Structure 1
């Protein structure tokens, strides 16, 4: 029997929204004031959400339970799958001694913690976000900074803050694509609008994060490097986001590579007079001498190059389609959730689908798993060592996995019960100020779901419809939703769980939340003000576009046809695998004389 969602159960949208927000208020209180461990805060918030869904929204208990479990399953796969496999590679790098080479290669450019943060947290993190998204950049870069000797709390927090700039085009532009589809706006137009907003923030993020790290005086000492890092990123982000050739898929990839190249080149000719380290570290003695050959450095970085190649390949649409088709030959990966699928009727009278996509082959985590397999060969480790690293990684991540699964359960019960839509309707009553509050709605959505993509899917239609009723161009409110969402990423319990798992801070989630919260609020207020300016002061910045004609019927017809593996996808997959094989072989040949431990009790061996 179906259940009709009621988004205003108390007959007053403001009062209903206040009740719907109680689980969110609890999460803020638990993390910021009570300083609960992440898993307990997530469990408490989810439990409250279920109680309100059942008692206030009159959602049947079985539907509430199934919605929560559905979200938890999504948290395990694909989200945790990505984080776990990413840390397999990093931990293997540490275990085999290859990360010592990476540390030396970075320290030879600069041993200044501020400049290392620019290269790893900001530029390299943006590249990983653009390629994979969904927590991968924080997992990799936070672990790398902690491995370099950063204070773990700062390593986690700085990476969360740095990840603000690229999130909108994460995972080869998927938040923009989904946002455009849901709102009925061309994804190129949405990319243009976001690309005329976020670069204004991106240009300042490097300076912002080094000031957060070292204070205003010490942060300002490296403003030239911050200007080069953020300025090159912002310029490339602006042009690639506004070009039909590269948008909406490649802005992050192009901007991050531009930033890496420009920053490294600049640091070859400029360096602050005095390197800065954290107060609890020994005083810096200056740049380290490079202790390894170019070939050895290439070999050490090769696993991360291979990771980037695989996730880029998986992000190419024909490749992704071919992998899905190959999965479908073995089993139908789209699994309807019996008892929940189309049993909830939403606020506009449409049944909500509940289909769990176990698209194992095309998942980004599987791309990273393949990268790990090749990395075992690159690093010269035995299978015994690889298995040991995998087991130790899973043991370390047990509580972050619980937190992520639980918080996704929270997001899904908020969605299926109608509580999230209640909050959206309440924001929509703000009238002329809606472009400002649209940013806060996106921010709140990413806090709940941990994903800009999920937030655009959740609130996209609401943002578009509300904007049209108010006479505002919907591309503005969708941009506000997307850009506001990126500011919520750093305080999402899901993102924080990833960061704590990567830096050994499990149980200290509240410290990271307290650290990042004020920065998150400050940045989303800037985003809100910018969208008010675009609406009422500088409307000329809004791109002209024509709404696309719905093509759902054609897509459904194509999906219903026989399974034919996309030959273009197989071709591109073969090309990337060939490049990866070449990188693997080349890394072993040119980096063969790495001075590191020979085979021992754990089976590690180098040649």
Structure 2
């Protein structure tokens, strides 16, 4: 019976992925939701836990939609007052080469916004700027999500490690430093592989685009590796800033830029950083609406409205409107776009929550899956990064993937006498890569860019991500076999 349940625990993921690739993401999500609902009751789950899980999924959906709404509002206002066109013009003056403009925006802004804010923020902002340069929406989203899969290691000022590992595993300071170093080294290799695919995708659409990709990549990736041991959670922010400064001094052919259209983005960055710097406002930011043990079940949920990037987005939008002397913000189109993805996003989050909440007298689907992975013995390093990828694919978050599977990876490493820091780095690297294929990021980024062909994005990204995760697992397996 335990073997049967172990196999069944994988079914929602297999159904979700296979049907998404064959029939489309919408069909995959709804099929996955139906299968997960059936398995939820097969799993000897409390009946009352079912509505509780759906309410929890609804609360998480609202949290994500707040980000989407804020990003749409900012871009709508930026476009309305002509700032998007001015940014494009400003970049052309800074450097005439379209290749430089494309890769600079893709690497610099994706790395920076992921490191500062996380939670899908780069996918909601950067593709729109790439589209304004003349690149197709699908290509723009694909490239940004692949790059996002590299820098989510330090997403939201280190949340994946701070909340994902340190809180539950009680790691020491030196252990955390080693995890960052190992993960950043894996990232350097991962980035080289993904950049090869990114170049292929870009050149296929724009044959004239060929230069600067490697130069700009290494200008952010090398500082990331060098600084990771010393800066840990701040590595991504500082590395992206270094890349921006390096590009300004060594690549920009015209350093007299028009900074006015960039001001709203500057305001956004400052507002996102303030909670990390000014600790006095932490009590306000950490305000939480908690829904514990809903309907007397074991399911709980929480909502932290002031931690959402919505408010920084809204203030930056107001700044854009005031600077552009346009006092009418068009809310209705933005609201309509945001609501249009609810029916896709909610059931996808429902799958995760039902898997987590299943089981009364037996382990949940997620726990059963974890037990299955732990039985692989000395071959465990070969699947370690894939566990991280899968965790982000089904939860939509590097941090949540680390929370769910971090203890499994840590305990498996200890039991098999592997380096716990290296195994956790492989989990972190895999969880970060998963951002490029997780349906929540794809749906959110596509909705903001006005794209409904989610499957095209998934089809383009899944091969490079799985290959990159395999290379990571192979490197990790060889290192662990030698030490």
TM-score by length of 2: 0.91
Mapped contact 1:82–1:366 kept (Cα < 8 A): no
How far apart, in 2, do the equivalents of 1:536 and 1:185 lie?
24
**What's the counterpart of residue 70 of structure 1?**
56
Once the 2 structures are TM-superposed, how far is the Cα of residue 204 of structure 1 from its aligned partner?
Answer: 5.4
Alpha carbons of structure 1 residues 515 and 437: separation in structure 2 relative to 1, 3 Å:
same
Find 1:380's aligned residue among 325, 328, 341. 325
Once the 2 structures are TM-superposed, how far is the Cα of residue 298 of structure 1 from its aligned partner?
Answer: 1.2
Find 2:159's aligned residue among 164, 171, 174. 174
How far apart, in 1, do the equivalents of 2:259 and 2:249 lie?
18
Mapped contact 1:46–1:409 kept (Cα < 8 A): yes
How far apart, in 2, do the equivalents of 1:514 and 1:393 lie?
28
Alpha carbons of structure 1 residues 464 and 406: separation in structure 2 relative to 1, 3 Å:
same
Mapped contact 2:396–2:440 kept (Cα < 8 A): yes
Mapped contact 1:87–1:502 kept (Cα < 8 A): yes
**What's the counterpart of residue 52 of structure 1?**
39
Mapped contact 1:411–1:448 kept (Cα < 8 A): yes
Alpha carbons of structure 1 residues 219 and 339: separation in structure 2 relative to 1, 3 Å:
farther
**What's the counterpart of residue 16 of structure 1?**
5
Find 1:403's aligned residue among 321, 331, 344. 344
Find 2:252's aligned residue among 268, 273, 292. 268
Once the 2 structures are TM-superposed, how far is the Cα of residue 448 of structure 1 from its aligned partner?
Answer: 0.3
- Pairwise mapping of residues 300-379 of structure 1 onto structure 2 (< 5 A)? 300-316=261-277, 318-319=279-280, 321-324=282-285, 327=287, 333-339=289-295, 343-344=297-298, 354-356=300-302, 358-379=303-324
Once the 2 structures are TM-superposed, how far is the Cα of residue 125 of structure 1 from its aligned partner?
Answer: 0.9
**What's the counterpart of residue 86 of structure 2?**
101
How far apart, in 2, do the equivalents of 1:533 and 1:320 lie?
46
**What's the counterpart of residue 28 of structure 2?**
41
Alpha carbons of structure 1 residues 263 and 361: separation in structure 2 relative to 1, 3 Å:
same
Q: Which piece of structure 1 moves more, 181-190 or 456-465?
A: 181-190
Once the 2 structures are TM-superposed, how far is the Cα of residue 320 of structure 1 from its aligned partner?
Answer: 5.5
Once the 2 structures are TM-superposed, how far is the Cα of residue 163 of structure 1 from its aligned partner?
Answer: 1.0
- Which deviations, in whole Å up to 9, do the C-alpha atoms of 1:199-223 show, x marking residues without a partner? 332355445422321159959942x
Counting helix residues as a fraction of each chain, which structure ranks higher? 2
**What's the counterpart of residue 3 of structure 1?**
none
Once the 2 structures are TM-superposed, how far is the Cα of residue 19 of structure 1 from its aligned partner?
Answer: 1.4
Mapped contact 2:114–2:151 kept (Cα < 8 A): yes
**What's the counterpart of residue 455 of structure 1?**
401
Matched residue SS, 1:60: coil
How far apart, in 2, do the equivalents of 1:32 and 1:99 lie?
34
Once the 2 structures are TM-superposed, how far is the Cα of residue 235 of structure 1 from its aligned partner?
Answer: 1.7
Please say if 1:479 is aligned against 2:425: yes
Alpha carbons of structure 1 residues 31 and 148: separation in structure 2 relative to 1, 3 Å:
same
Matched residue SS, 2:341: helix
Please say if 1:144 is aligned against 2:85: no
Mapped contact 1:126–1:252 kept (Cα < 8 A): yes
Q: How many correspondences in the alignment?
A: 474
Once the 2 structures are TM-superposed, how far is the Cα of residue 527 of structure 1 from its aligned partner?
Answer: 1.7
Mapped contact 2:68–2:338 kept (Cα < 8 A): no
- Which deviations, in whole Å up to 9, do the C-alpha atoms of 1:104-143 show, x marking residues without a partner? 1122344655433311222211100011101110110112
Once the 2 structures are TM-superposed, how far is the Cα of residue 67 of structure 1 from its aligned partner?
Answer: 1.4
Once the 2 structures are TM-superposed, how far is the Cα of residue 226 of structure 1 from its aligned partner?
Answer: 2.3
Alpha carbons of structure 1 residues 48 and 110: separation in structure 2 relative to 1, 3 Å:
farther
How far apart, in 2, do the equivalents of 1:391 and 1:320 lie?
32
Once the 2 structures are TM-superposed, how far is the Cα of residue 413 of structure 1 from its aligned partner?
Answer: 1.3
Please say if 1:529 is aligned against 2:474: yes
Please say if 1:439 is aligned against 2:424: no
Please say if 1:517 is aligned against 2:462: yes
Structure showing greater radius of gyration is 1
Mapped contact 1:72–1:407 kept (Cα < 8 A): no
Q: Which runs of 5+ in 1 are unaligned?
A: 1-9, 270-289, 345-352, 540-607
**What's the counterpart of residue 361 of structure 2?**
none
Mapped contact 1:207–1:226 kept (Cα < 8 A): no
**What's the counterpart of residue 227 of structure 1?**
214
How far apart, in 2, do the equivalents of 1:420 and 1:159 lie?
29
**What's the counterpart of residue 252 of structure 1?**
236
Q: Please give the root-mean-square deviation of Cα atoms over the aligned residues, in Å.
A: 2.4
How far apart, in 1, do the equivalents of 2:71 and 2:293 lie?
29
Mapped contact 1:307–1:368 kept (Cα < 8 A): yes
- Which deviations, in whole Å up to 9, do the C-alpha atoms of 1:144-171 show, x marking residues without a partner? 1122221111111111112122101010
Once the 2 structures are TM-superposed, how far is the Cα of residue 485 of structure 1 from its aligned partner?
Answer: 1.2
How far apart, in 1, do the equivalents of 2:56 and 2:195 lie?
38
**What's the counterpart of residue 194 of structure 1?**
183
TM-score by length of 1: 0.73
Please say if 1:298 is aligned against 2:254: no
Alpha carbons of structure 1 residues 103 and 491: separation in structure 2 relative to 1, 3 Å:
same
Once the 2 structures are TM-superposed, how far is the Cα of residue 314 of structure 1 from its aligned partner?
Answer: 2.6
